[in-house]
Amino acid sequence: MQAVTRGMEKKIGGKALNWAELGFEYIRTDLRFSARWRDGQWDEGRLIDSEIMSLHEGSPALHYAQECFEGLKAQCARDGRVLLFRPELNSERMNQAAGRLLMPEVPIELFLRGVEAAVWENRAWIPPFGSGANLYVRPMLIGVGGNLGLMPAKEFEFRVFVSPVGPYYKQAGLAPITLAVSAMDRAAPHGTGNFKVGANYAGGLLATRTARQQGASEALYLDAAENRYIDEAGSANILAVTRDGSLITPRSAAVLPGVTRRSIMQLAADRLNMPTAERPIDLREEFDDFAEMGACGTAAVLSPIARIWFDGAWQVINRRELGNKIHGAGVVGPIMQELYDLLVGIQQGEIAEDYGWIHAIGT
């Protein structure tokens, strides 16, 4: 087994990278994987140097957002193995988006080969075990070539690049965040909210900025039809622990089917013996019944929610029992802590699992 190059040897602008200080920003790594679809088929794909894409000005990705993407992480285990978490689910989700946007599917073999190559060939950029940082992997599928009318592209590029990242929200590790309910909708009930397509995110930029201006970490979207049921946050799914000890997550046709949420729901049922349910969650009706809440995703991992802005005020989760502590010392609820430890322990190869979720590469 080959160990990953460890330590601080990577430099940016002559300065050594300090893994502990990384935010969630693009850092150029050495190589990326690129494959092209033409005349009905994919080429083999290859690793390339340049991070610059030269695109025809008529590319449907640019005009009509005919593009989708994925996000997953590679982690360095204590023994130096490089671990991916359930990458087959990212492949499956990319192909669902491809179908929705009339793009060719990326065969799972090509998807995994591209992801593995981009990670392995940039392995010196994988933050070391215990640094709190990891390597974010961004596969993308875009429609390229000269088009003018509203029609699918005739050519497509599948690209995978990687970047070392720190925590998505400013605080490292498990620290409470805050959300503000957005007055803007993210996704219509039968629209594209359940697909990871760029168009959803362009529409969310203003909502995120507005939430940040209100002092929140992120926007929270309610359902577009009734403005009542929780959908999801700008880049994470929502979980809540009810006072009677169940873990619930919104059932909605408009939310992204998150790999993290699916995994946490299963861990809660199997390892914590919690009743779990995916069901519509009425924010205003049910808020007082929540003992804990969290936002989860590849980037967010599992971030406990301390308070939510809605109906003109900050509403504190479980004010009676956790509220003061959360405000004072950033205390994290016990279930979120347990779920976080389980999830991260499995993702880093510290806790054994027999689901087959861990995908080690380069071994």
Q: Indicate the residue among 138 and 327 with the shorter CB distance to ligand PLP.
A: 138
User: Among candidates 71, 169, 188, 81, which has minimal Cα distance to 129?
Assistant: 81
Closest separation in Å from C-beta 138 to ligand PLP: 11
Select the residue interacting with ligand PLP from 75, 182, 260, 318 (CB under 6 A): 260
Q: How far apart are CA 345 and CA 361, in angstroms?
A: 18
Closest separation in Å from C-beta 64 to ligand PLP: 20
Does 192 bind ligand PLP (CB under 6 A)? Our answer is no
> Encoding tokens for residue 223?
């359902």
User: Among candidates 137, 164, 125, 160, which has minimal Cα distance to 32?
Assistant: 160
b/e map of 112-132 (b: 16 or more CB within 10 Å)?
Answer: bbbbbbbbbbbbebbbbbebe
User: What positions carry a catalytic annotation?
Assistant: 196
Number of residues near ligand PLP (by CB under 6 A): 13
Q: What residues between 273 and 332 interact with ligand PLP by CB under 6 A?
A: 297-299
- Beta-sheet pairing, 177-181 with 218-222: parallel
Closest separation in Å from C-beta 73 to ligand PLP: 9
Select the residue interacting with ligand PLP from 232, 305, 333, 339 (CB under 6 A): 232
Does 74 bind ligand PLP (CB under 6 A)? Our answer is no
Q: How far apart are CA 105 and CA 111, in angstroms?
A: 10
Strand partners, 180: 219, 309
Select the residue interacting with ligand PLP from 115, 126, 222, 259 (CB under 6 A): 259
Closest separation in Å from C-beta 97 to ligand PLP: 12
Closest separation in Å from C-beta 233 to ligand PLP: 7
Q: Indicate the residue among 23 and 146 with the shorter CB distance to ligand PLP.
A: 23
Does 258 bind ligand PLP (CB under 6 A)? Our answer is yes
Does 208 bind ligand PLP (CB under 6 A)? Our answer is no
Q: How far apart are CA 135 and CA 119, in angstroms?
A: 8
Q: CA angle, corner 261, sides to 215 and 198, nearest 5?
A: 65
Instruction: Tell me which stretch binds ligand PLP (CB under 6 A): 20-28, 259-267, 314-322, 355-363.
Output: 259-267
Q: Which H or E element spans position 310?
A: strand 301-310
* Positions that interact with ligand PLP (CB under 6 A): 71, 232, 235-237, 256, 258-261, 297-299
